[in-house]
Amino acid sequence: MKSTRWLFILIALVAGIGIGLAYGWVVDPVEFFDLTPDTLRADYKTDYVLMVAEAYHSEADPGLAAHRLAIFGSRSPSTIAADGLEFARTNGFSDSDIALIQELVTALQAWSGIQ
């Protein structure tokens, strides 16, 4: 077989791979559902932290707040809340929201988790 023929075969193979990747990654990517909260966009995570902070402001139960934040995985609750605080500070959340999250962060940092 001529070398040009092999060249065409190689080009076709590469083109096929390229088309396959484009289809699988762009046109019809794998659809995800049943996701875990750690995959949430940062603003949604922060809004969840804010909800927990709002509830904590009244309940004053750091254990319950830590339990609620545990849906984000194995990181410590105070770290999760601190990440939310950082996002809130850098993205224009209201002062009252930031204060609530700050209160939660402080409480969780002081909370030992042993009740």
Partner 1 sequence: MRRFPWDILLALLLGLGAGLAYSWMISPLQVFDSEPIALRTDFKDDYRSAIAASYAVTGNLPRARARLALLGDSNLIETLNSQAQRLTAGGEFAQADQLAALALALDHGTSAEAQPTLTSTAKSNNPNQGKATATFPPTPEELPFQFTETPPASDTETVVTLSTPDNPTPRPTRTLIPTVGAPFALTTQDTVCDANLPDGLLQIIVFNSSHRQVAGARIIITWDNGEEQFFTGLKPELGNGYADYNMSPGLTYTVRISAGGDIASGLTAPTCQTPTGESFQGGIKLTFEQP
Distance, CA of 12 to chain centre: 40
CA distances from 101 to 41, 58, 106, 112 (A): 18, 13, 9, 18
Residues that bind partner 1 (CB under 8 A): 5, 8-10, 12-25, 29-30, 32-37, 39-44, 46-48, 50-52, 54-55, 57-59, 68, 71, 87, 91-94, 96-97, 100
- Is residue 60 within 8 A of residue 104, CB to CB? The reply is no
Q: At its nearest, how many Å lie between partner 1 and the CB of residue 39?
A: 4
Tokens 């040009």 appear where?
4
Q: At its nearest, how many Å lie between partner 1 and the CB of residue 111?
A: 18
Q: At its nearest, how many Å lie between partner 1 and the CB of residue 10?
A: 7
75, two tokens? 């990181």
DSSP 62: H
Nearer to partner 1, 41 or 110 (CB): 41
Q: At its nearest, how many Å lie between partner 1 and the CB of residue 114?
A: 22
